[in-house]
């Protein structure tokens, strides 16, 4: 696949995800809990993604802050969108979260923005997997900031990427 075709597919993915109706339909179909929690895509480029989650009734915990699982969803979605965008640019690649570490620094209230800046590393790992046929892993960092730009939480999500073989493609 040519690089201009790959770039066009990535741009289409970015446009679709940035269209509110298409994003809601995607989340309703593929990520229903993220839809219910009200996750939103604030920004998406080939190198960086930002996803927001707001404190409200469905995201609360008993301590009047955002439940850690909702924070985890937003952090994972920031890196996951980058992975999905890079997967779009060529032959099929399986992707799976194989590890997660988190540090919580401050009570999460209000609007929290999770940003992952690992797009280039993800793209390289996917390209290497396609070229070699072997799996690759990438540790992505998603940092959550509150409305005062204070760090609320830092997540390290380990993604595994593996190019699908011809027999796997036919079974799908």
**Could you tell me the CATH number of the domain that includes residue 70?**
3.10.129.10
DSSP letter for each residue of 31-42: -HHHHHHT-EEE
Task: Name the residue range of residue 47's domain.
Answer: 3-171
In the beta sheet, which residues pair with residue 153? 104, 144
Q: Is 16 exposed, middle or buried (0-12, 13-18, 19+ CB in 10 A)?
A: middle
Of 38, 65, 69, 36, which Cα lies nearest the Cα of 52? Answer: 38
**Coil vs helix vs strand at 151:** strand
Structural tokens at position 76: 């994972």
Which tens digits make up the pLDDT trace of 77-136?
Answer: 999 999 999 998 888 999 999 999 999 999 999 999 999 999 999 999 999 999 999 999
Which tens digits make up the pLDDT trace of 18-64?
Answer: 888 888 898 899 899 999 999 999 999 999 999 999 999 999 999 99
Overall number of domains in the chain = 1
pTM of the model: 0.90
């Amino acid at each position: 696949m040519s690089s201009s075709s790959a770039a066009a597919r990535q741009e289409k993915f970015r446009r679709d995800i940035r269209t509110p109706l298409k994003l809601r339909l995607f989340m309703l179909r593929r990520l229903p809990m993220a839809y219910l929690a009200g996750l939103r895509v604030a920004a998406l480029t080939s190198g960086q993604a930002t996803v927001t989650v707001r404190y409200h009734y469905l995201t609360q915990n008993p301590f009047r802050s955002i439940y850690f699982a909702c924070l985890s969803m937003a952090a994972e979605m920031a890196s996951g969108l980058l992975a999905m965008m890079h997967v779009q640019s060529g032959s099929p690649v399986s992707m799976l979260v194989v590890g997660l570490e988190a540090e919580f620094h401050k009570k999460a209230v209000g609007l929290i923005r999770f940003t992952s800046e690992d797009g280039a590393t993800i793209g390289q790992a996917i390209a290497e997997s396609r070229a070699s046929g072997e799996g690759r892993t990438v540790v992505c960092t998603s940092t959550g900031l509150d409305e005062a730009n204070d760090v609320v939480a830092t997540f390290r999500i380990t993604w595994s990427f593996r190019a699908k073989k011809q027999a796997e493609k036919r079974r799908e």
